[in-house]
Chain A
Amino acid sequence: MSKRSYKFALSLLFLACMAQEPLFAARIGELTETDWKIQVIRFLSFRDPSVRYALAGSILLGISCGLLGSFIVVRKMALVGDALSHAVLPGVALGFLWNTTKDPVAIFIGATVAGLLGTTVVNLITQTTRLKEDTALGMVLAGFFSVGICLVTMIQHLPTGNKSGIDKFLFGQAAALGPNDIQLMGIVTLLAITVITLFYKEFLVSSFDSGFAHSIRIPVQLFHHLLMLLLAFAVVISLQAVGVVLVSAMLITPAAAAYLLTDRMHRMVFLASIFGLLSGVFGAFFSFLGPSLPTGPFMVLGASLVFTLCFFFAPKHGLVTRWWVKRSRSQQIQVENVLKAIYHVLEDRGFDGEGVSIRELADQRKQTLEESVRESKMLKRAEYATLLEEGNMIWLTPEGWQRAREMVRNHRLWELYLTSAAQYSADHVHDDAEKIEHILGDEVVRALEKRLDYATTDPHGKKIPSSESIQKDRMGRREKVPGYGQDI
């Protein structure tokens, strides 16, 4: 559903850009003096056709780069994109020479051929020499790029060369996009979307498991070449807006950001396209604010911004998120250890008396009073205990008592399991049980109890609280807290 509406919106946008309207002002790319406030208004009012072209171009290139970039990122071919994008430069220059104008079709063909030639040469070098892929990529990137630079400087020395705008291909200028460029970009984007949608399964399988793809008769090589072709297309249409040097970022960065957010390929492709689109618009907007600001670097910066946010705050894989999860987990473990210590104190005195004093807890945990006070407050926050007003006595709540018994049960069950089933000696089992007690789930506990014949004493002769009794408390909500003077 979402895919369809997304395509629909795309084609609407495409049509809107095609509609011709009278010019309101000179092309923004040709202005020399600009005020950024006026530029903001011009940009946001969309009245200027060059603004619309630039915006449409950025959106289209963002979508196609994000879409295809996802596949090269999961195939670990990110730097092939880099080499490819540098290798198109001689093709651009030759396409330009075809009739010394910016004929989009000639440039498109030249650049695609050069890009594909570049990736072929990388393959040839790695197959026929001892050089590794990274070296081959670097050589092709630099070799092709230098040929391109030679041609570009030769063009610039031509009598008509200086006004040609070929230098815009190096860092990109979205304001230089014209209706013909947008048309080409639209066609290529639609083509990429169509091909990927039609052969989604084949691309997916051959990207993640080429051996399996072979075995179900998917022509892996063919799809590899198809992907390279689409990639070359995407790079070529992005050249004018992003520039040769930074196109690879538009392929890699949005896709990498999407990779941090989801584990499903179709969601990644969708998100990467959205991120590509957003960074495209970001770049187009900021490069409009000043007279000679290149578009490409701003787009890349936009994409990097998105990536940075995902890197730190992605729900599952973000750095801060993971740190937060780890921290709360270690707090949980600390709380559970305190509960266990309180249980031990109560157990040592035969479960009688009203609550546990801070001093007793400190002695049990072998720590200072301050540390115990802090831990007792953690218990209170977790609603596992109530504190006396002076703060020197701890009473467990029913939940706290239940959790404490579960911990002790897990610990002792595991110790018993290790001694009886895994033949550990009794003095070696404590440390292991200390770790596993926090993560044993209900099912494992039931299986352990069953396997150990519902044993009631652990290897050290202590009583194991049975799951049944804990469960009974939970169901009946009876207040079986020793602080309230009841037996376990």
Chain B
Amino acid sequence: MAKDFLPSFEWHRVMVEPWSADAFQNNLWIFLMGFLVATACGLVGNYLILRRMSLIGDAISHSILPGIAIAFLVSGSRGTVPMFAGALLAGVATTVIIEVIHKKSRIKQDSAIGIAFTTLFAIGVILISLYASKIDLDQECVLYGEIGFVGLHPPVQLWGMNLGPLPVFRMAVVTVITAAAIMLFYKELLVSSFDPGLAFTLGINATVVHYCLMGWLSTVVVNAFESVGAVLVIAMLILPGAIASMLTLQLPRILMLTVVIAAMSSFFGIHLATWLNCSTAAAMVVVASGLFILAWLFSPTSGLVFKKLRHRSDSVPEFPETATDVLNPQPGK
């Protein structure tokens, strides 16, 4: 029984076979897709973390589902344009609903988020189960995607060149635009995330930045949705940025590290999934969570282990919180 469930770790099967000739191409596309999803989500996610809006990301990733389902029903196809439009509408609708509930009643923001996204997600799931034959999605796919089949999509041909399967190509475009937009609007995003007051004096319209960010978030999420599903998108949004911010304090370095972490979790995720024979997208997130635990414990700047070691060498707290902490250093604290 246990043997059935937990396959033994065979180096060759797990680490070498995925890259052998017959599986190489498929796994390459899976790796690329995972990498692109994690990069695009991670880059946008960094700003969500800075703005303390991680859970709005969670909400939007759930609530684009009815948008996609309705786009399917209306257009009758899995076309790119209706899907984008549906997702964008749903994403903006979520932010608006949260705002309305939060501003127009005594309900606090956290409850407002919880109410808005669960309602929309429920509508999405109901639509999918009612029109299962018309919507090319199933409930499992909604939850954890089907990144394993990404190589089976028809490739995009442009000027006679093979640019890879459609979802990978689309995701690559989105990722490149994300990176370019962050470089172009680096200052605006930075200032409005850290100091809305200063942003206002510099003539940056924080509301516009907010809604652009939300709109772009929905666009990224709808692309990622197909491969990692609604719930795991939140991991792709938050984890790379959170890991990176455990390692450094500078935003440019955090953004760079996000890309590296995305590549690592995608790569090792494929191997983990091969070993355990489980969902590839989930395995990628498990790897990312593992990386976070490593960073949490062993980060040179803020890891628990190094903090402990440093703590022994000097008894004054590194970041004294109050004057009494400095005057009466307590070894336990």
Measured CB to CB, the residues of A under 8 A from B are 73, 76-79, 81-82, 86, 97, 100, 125, 128-132, 134-135, 137-139, 141-143, 145-147, 149-151, 153-155, 157-159, 167, 170-171, 245-246, 248-249, 251-253, 255-256, 259-260, 290, 292-294, 296-298, 300-301, 304, 307, 311, 317, 319
Contacts and interface: CB of A to CB of B under 8 A. Distances in A.
B231 A245 contact: yes
Interface of B: prevailing SS: helix
29 contacts: A73-B108, A78-B108, A78-B114, A128-B307, A131-B246, A139-B289, A145-B231, A145-B232, A146-B232, A147-B286, A147-B289, A149-B143, A149-B282, A153-B282, A155-B5, A248-B114, A249-B119, A253-B114, A253-B115, A253-B118, A294-B139, A297-B125, A298-B126, A300-B118, A300-B121, A301-B119, A304-B119, A311-B101, A319-B104
B183 interface: no
Contacts of B245: 130-131
A261 to B, nearest CB: 11
B286 to A, nearest CB: 5
Contacts of B106: 259-260, 317
Contact of A260 (B105, B238, B242): B105
B32 to A, nearest CB: 20
Nearest to A77: B110
B36 to A, nearest CB: 18
Given A297-B126, A301-B119, A97 B5 contact: yes
A139 B101 CA distance: 25
Contact of A154 (B52, B130, B276, B304): B276
Nearest to B6: A154
Interface in B276-325: 276-279, 281-286, 288-289, 292, 296, 302, 304, 307
Contacts of A300: 118-119, 121-122
Given A78-B108, A128-B304, 10 more contacts: A82-B114, A125-B296, A134-B53, A138-B55, A138-B57, A138-B234, A143-B288, A149-B232, A245-B121, A256-B107
B22 interface: no
A300 B115 CA distance: 9
Q: What are the 7 tightest A-B residue pairs by CB atom distance, in nearest-first order?
A: A142-B235, A249-B118, A146-B285, A143-B289, A297-B122, A149-B282, A300-B122
B232 to A, nearest CB: 6
B330 interface: no
B122 A146 contact: no
A161 to B, nearest CB: 9
A129 B54 contact: no
A307 B58 CA distance: 21
B43 interface: no
Contacts of B304: 128
A319 B97 CA distance: 14
Nearest to B53: A134
A300 B120 CA distance: 10
Interface of B: 1, 4-5, 49, 52-55, 57-58, 101, 104-108, 110-111, 113-115, 118-119, 121-123, 125-126, 129-130, 132, 139-140, 143-144, 231-232, 234-235, 237-239, 242, 245-246, 272, 276-279, 281-286, 288-289, 292, 296, 302, 304, 307
B122 to A, nearest CB: 4
A195 B198 CA distance: 50
Nearest to A253: B115
A141 B58 contact: yes
Contacts of A167: 139-140
B114 A297 contact: no
A142 B129 CA distance: 24
Interface of A: prevailing SS: helix
Contacts of A298: 122, 126
A243 to B, nearest CB: 9
A253 B237 CA distance: 26
Contacts of B276: 150, 154
Contact of A142 (B105, B113, B285): B285
Which of A294, A300, A301 has the most chain B CB atoms inside 10 A of its CB?
A300
Given A76-B110, A78-B108, A301-B122, A293 B232 contact: no
Nearest to A82: B114
Contacts of B126: 293-294, 297-298, 301
A170 to B, nearest CB: 6
B122 A138 contact: no
Nearest to A99: B1
A135 B4 contact: no
Given A154-B276, A249-B115, A79 B286 contact: no
A240 to B, nearest CB: 16
A170 B231 CA distance: 11
Nearest to A160: B4
Given A139-B292, A142-B234, A293-B130, A149 B279 contact: yes
A158 B278 CA distance: 11
B279 A304 contact: no
B105 A317 contact: yes
B239 A86 contact: no
Which of B132, B285, B288 has the most chain A CB atoms inside 10 A of its CB?
B285
B234 A249 contact: no
A138 B238 contact: yes
A292 B129 contact: yes
Contacts of A151: 278
Which of B143, B239, B277, B288 has the most chain A CB atoms inside 10 A of its CB?
B143
Nearest to A263: B106
A352 B294 CA distance: 92
Given A78-B108, A100-B1, A246-B122, A149 B235 contact: no
